[in-house]
Structure formats: structure tokens, C-alpha cells
Amino acid sequence: MSNRFKSKFNIKKGDNVVVIAGDDKDLKKPRTVLAVFPDKAKVLVEGVNIQTIHTKPSAQNTKGGIVKKEAPIAISNVQLWDAKAAAPARVKRVRENGKLIRVSKKSGEVIK
């Protein structure tokens, strides 16, 4: 992405999201965000996009072998989970006491 205009995303580490597109699409199962990579517009979600990696033996891992771990997916493929409405919801930002807070458009609930 260009450095000229830095994109702002409504998803942060620790949020509950649902995958709305791709192989792991599930609109009813909220998952936790493990990491956000804003410069690449990707997000690492728990239990999504699992890849098998063949590792050689090393000092840390003396056995080596096959390791399964999550890989990042596009941030456009996830949507924040609204616990009150029990559904995915879009987000708007509202300025309150000089701070921006995230508010669900579906239920009006503040997202923490």
C-alpha cells in the first residue's frame, strides 16, 4: 500500500470477528483477531487459513516435522461481531470527549 494515505481500519487485536468470504467463511462463529498488519491490509485470525509448514530440525526445534499455523487473510474478508445483535455488523466512529470510539451500526452498542 502507498505511504501517502495511510488506511484506517476498524479492526484491532483482540476483537471478535466473523469471516465473511473465503474457504473459512462462517457468519455464525465469532473468532479472535491475533494480529493486524495495516501496511499489508491483512489480519491474523484464530483458526482461519491454517497452513501446514514443513520445518527442518534446528536448535530450537530438534525434531522438525510438520507444523500447522494460521496465515494472514485480507482485512476485507472479516467483519466485526456484534454480541448484542449476535450478527456481523458494520462500524462507525463517533467522537466522544475528544476520543474516537467505535459504535456498531446494527445495535448502536459501543465496541470495546
pTM across the whole model: 0.84
- Segments making up each domain of the chain, as ranges: 16-55+64-111
What is the C-alpha end-to-end distance of the chain, expressed in Å?
28
pLDDT in tens, the chain (112 residues): 566 788 889 999 999 999 999 999 999 999 999 999 999 999 999 999 999 999 999 999 899 999 999 999 999 999 999 999 999 999 999 999 999 999 999 999 998 8
Tell me the C-alpha distance between 89 and 79, whole Å.
7
Helices (H), 8-77: none
Tell me the C-alpha distance between 111 and 37, whole Å.
20
So what CATH class is 16-55+64-111? mainly beta
Tell me the C-alpha distance between 20 and 8, whole Å.
20
Q: Strands of 99-104's sheet, edge to edge?
A: 91-96, 99-104, 110-111
Return the closest-CA partner of residue 36 out of 50, 17, 51: 17
Res 1: pLDDT: 58
Give residue for cell 456481523.
Answer: 88
Res 2: pLDDT: 62
